[in-house]
Structure formats: structure tokens, C-alpha cells
Amino acid sequence: MINWLQHETGGLLVLCAAAIAVLLFLIIKVKLEPFISLLVSGLLLALAAGLSVNQIVGTALSAKNSILETGFGGILGHIAPIIGLGTILGAILEASGGADVLTRRLLGIFGERGAPFAMGLAGLIFGIPVFFDIGIFVLAPLVYITARRGGRSLVLYAMPLLAGLSMTHAFLPPHPGPVAAAGLLQVSLGWLIIMGLVCGIPAFLVAGVAWGAWIGKRVNVGVPEDYIVAERERAENGERTPERPDPSLTLVLLIIAVPLVLILLATFGTVWWKGSAALPVLTFLGNPAVALTIAVLLAFYLLGIRRGVPAAELSDLATKSLRPVGMILLVVGAGAFFGAVISATGVGKALAGTLSDAGLPVIVLAYLISCGLRLAQGSATVAIVTTGGIVAPLLQGQDHSQAHIALIAVAISAGSIIASHVNDGGFWIVSRYFNMSVRDTLKTWTVLETILSIVGFAAAGTLSIFI
């Protein structure tokens, strides 16, 4: 039985499908943590495919060359500092009042008529360094204020904001999904930034601006009553919170831009400054971990120390911001192990052969697998790391450019956000913060996510034909 599975394409594909079915069963029915579910599924797949114990976990004396350790360690060494530093940077920008400064300035520029678009831009810019849910927590009150002043539905202002936050969270570093996809597919973050923006901005415009304007006139939602009551009580009691001087908008944008620009300069420096003495400097400064470290240090000083924030308070802020990161890293590591098992068992080669015979492009398969996993279990991160593990072996030995691989990563990320519904935590955050019933959330947010996904993939698929 094992020999047949190891040598027959059909048997290997059946094994892979069975492993994914076990993964979904453990997450959906057993309610097991995705990290443990991925680990168990990978171990079962390795054993069923006939890999030796030494290959899977090593020996009692040494495990450093085992699939378990190399699968986990290979990806975490790449993404852990990036995700950790990005999280700290976002926390400092959020705590400094940078989001408030950015949003108010944009509202001043675009005026009442352009307020929905201004909220979308605020989500797009502030969403680069800040996690999706944190962006909602910070910016939702500003949406409430704008909706009350405009006297229109909360949906009209919330949809563009959500589109901006979701697009950056799905397509751009230093967010966990794109960084994990880049690590699994071994593509430069510089190229991922470029392709993420090229594919993500049209998706944002269609989903956030066009769809948001259309649905915002048809779903009437008011500002949450508890927010109105809290505001009234604060005004009556004369409550004021101690405030520090607001940071300048230029400073906020500079700190957000620094790591992106350094990474891009390092990515394209080999072409523009080949043989130049500046190239090693650019390569060092543009390493994602180094670039983000520079940005964090700038934020610590310019948004913290220089504005009178004690170093101890900044340290405490960084510590608190990193608490949610542990489980994300474990999920990504387990997903990388799952992918390493797929590669070692030969499933990747079998799938590549089947795709070649069917004439199905890898980018289409990547999107469809990611969509299926997202719809089944709700987590975008699990969808990305599982799909990346399946797709990565298909790219080995192929002559794909970094730009083309980045488009495949974008397709995986696009699939991971499709049709957010009741099994997605983000669905309930949106419903709660923007005062919508389940039905209204499905009509607005779920459709928005689907449009983001389809347009983002369409852009990536179209570009992949020419790149």
C-alpha cells in the first residue's frame, strides 16, 4: 500500500486531499488550534506516505536535519523578526495618535463630499504598519464622528476604510500573511510590495470606493448608541484625558515609508547600482529586518522620547503589542512544516505533473486552493500558509522570475480573504464595531471582501501572462 502511494500520482494526490480534509476536520469540528491541527496533519501525511521516522523527526541525539525542524526553523528565521518589528512599529504609530492626525488631515483635504474616500485613504496608509483589527479599533471612532457630521449611513464611510485596511493586511508586508507567503515561496519582499500595490490598489478602488459608494446608499446604519451615550457622559462630566502634542503628518508618513523605501532600494539596487560601492550599504539597510529596526528606532525616538513618553512606557507598549504574535508564528511554522512534508513525499511533483497535463496555471490553482481553505475554516493565515506549502514545491526547478512568483503570492493572499462570513473573527469585529446585523454584514462586508479577492486575483492573473 505504501509503495503504491509513494510511486503513483493518484495515490499521492489522494493522500494530500486526505491530509487537508483531516486539517479542516480538526479545525472546524474538533475546534483544535490551527497550529496543532497543521502539525498533526503534516505528521499523519508523512507517516502515511512512508517517510522514515528519522526523516520526519530525526534521532534521539539529533533532529537538526529532520523535516520537522527544518520546516519550522527555515520559515521562522525569516519571518519572526519582520512580523515582530512590524507589530511594534504599528503599536507606536497607533499609540502616538498618528491615525488621528492622518485621518483628520485627509478629511480636511477632501471635505464633506470626499469624506468616504478620505476614510479609505486613511485605512490604506495606516493599514500598512497596523494589524487589521487594531486599525478598526483605532479608526472606528473617527468613522462615527464623520458619519454623525455628514448625517449619512455609517456604511458609506466604513466600507472604504475597511477596504483599505483589508487590502494592506492581505497584500503588503509586514503583515503576517504576505510575509509568510514570501517566505514559503522564497520571493523578495521588494517584489511583493510592488505587486501587492499594483494588484491591491485597483481592488481597493473597486471594492472600497465604487462598491462602498453604491451599498452605502442602500444600507442605512446609525452610529452605535453606546458610543453616543459615552460621548454625552464625557461631555457632561467634563472628562479630559491627558494629551501630548500631536505628531506631524509628515513625520507619521516618513516613518511608515522608511522601511518600504529601503526594502525597495535593496531589491532593485542590483540592477540600478550593480558594481557600485553603495550596493552593499543598500543591501544591508534594505534587509527587511534591518529596515524595520531602523523604522522602529525612529518611531521610538521621534514619536516617543522626543514627545515626552518615558522609555519604560514605550518598552511596556512594545511588550504588550507582541503578545498576539506568538500564535501567528506557530501557525506559520506549522504551515511550513506541512509544506515541507508535501515536498518530501513527492506530492508537489505529482501535482505539478497533473497541472502540466491539464494545462492549468499554478497561479489559478494557488488562488482556488486558498479560496477553498478560507471558505472552509475562516482563517486567512491558515489559508495562506497551507496553500503556500502546497504550491511551493510546484515552483521548484521552474524558471519563474521573482516578479512572477510575487504575483502567485498575491493570488494566494487574494484567495485567503474571499467571502468573509460567520466562521471568520473579522466578520464579527466588523459587525460589532459598525453596528450591523448579521444580514447587513453579509450584504456589505462579505461582498466587499469577495470583490477585493476577485479583482486582486484578476489583476495578478492578467499580469502573470506578461511577466
Domain extent listing, the chain: 11-49+70-466
Alpha helices in 172-301 (DSSP H): 176-185, 189-204, 212-216, 225-237, 249-272, 278-285, 288-298
DSSP state for residue 66 in the 8-state scheme: S
Helix (H) or strand (E) holding 207: none
Give the C-alpha separation, 18 to 27, whole Å.
14
Nearest to 427 by CA among 444, 410, 451, 452: 444
**Which cell is 138 given?**
483605532
User: What's at 465, amino acid-wise?
Assistant: I
Residues in the chain: 467
Give the C-alpha separation, 338 to 78, whole Å.
17
Decide: helix, strand or coil at residue 183.
helix
Q: Give the number of C-alpha atoms closer than 13 A to the C-alpha of residue 16, restricted to the C-beta side.
A: 27
pLDDT at residue 2, as a whole number: 44
Q: What is the pLDDT along the chain (467 residues), one digit of tens a residue?
A: 444 444 466 777 788 888 889 998 998 889 899 889 999 999 998 898 888 888 888 765 555 678 888 888 778 888 899 999 999 999 999 888 888 899 889 999 999 899 999 999 999 999 999 989 999 988 998 899 899 888 899 999 999 999 999 999 999 999 999 999 999 999 999 999 999 999 999 999 999 999 999 999 999 999 887 665 555 555 555 544 456 678 888 999 999 999 999 999 998 887 677 767 788 899 999 999 999 999 999 999 999 999 888 999 999 999 998 888 888 888 888 888 888 888 788 777 777 777 666 778 999 999 999 999 999 888 898 999 989 988 988 888 788 999 999 999 999 999 999 999 988 989 999 999 999 999 999 999 999 999 999 999 999 999 999 98
Alpha helices in 9-97 (DSSP H): 9-28, 34-48, 53-57, 67-95
Asked whether the beta carbons of 141 and 227 are under 8 A apart, the reply is yes
Give the C-alpha separation, 413 to 416, whole Å.
5
Give the C-alpha separation, 93 to 255, whole Å.
9
User: Exposure string (b/e) for 403-441, b if CB count within 10 Å is 16 or more?
Assistant: bbbbbbbbbbbbbbbbebbeebebbebbbebbbbeeebb
Nearest to 203 by CA among 192, 211, 213: 211
pLDDT at residue 338, as a whole number: 87
Helix (H) or strand (E) holding 236: helix 225-237
What are the residues whose beta carbons fall under 8 Å from the beta carbon of 422, sequence distance 6 or more?
A: 428, 438
**Which cell is 184 given?**
514559503
Cell 472600497 appears where?
Answer: 208
Give the C-alpha separation, 270 to 261, whole Å.
15
User: What's at 38, amino acid-wise?
Assistant: L
Report in angstroms the alpha-carbon separations of 155 from 152, 249, 277. 8, 27, 53
Nearest to 166 by CA among 445, 368, 460: 445
Give the C-alpha separation, 6 to 49, whole Å.
6
Give the C-alpha separation, 442 to 424, whole Å.
12
pLDDT at residue 458, as a whole number: 98
pLDDT at residue 114, as a whole number: 94
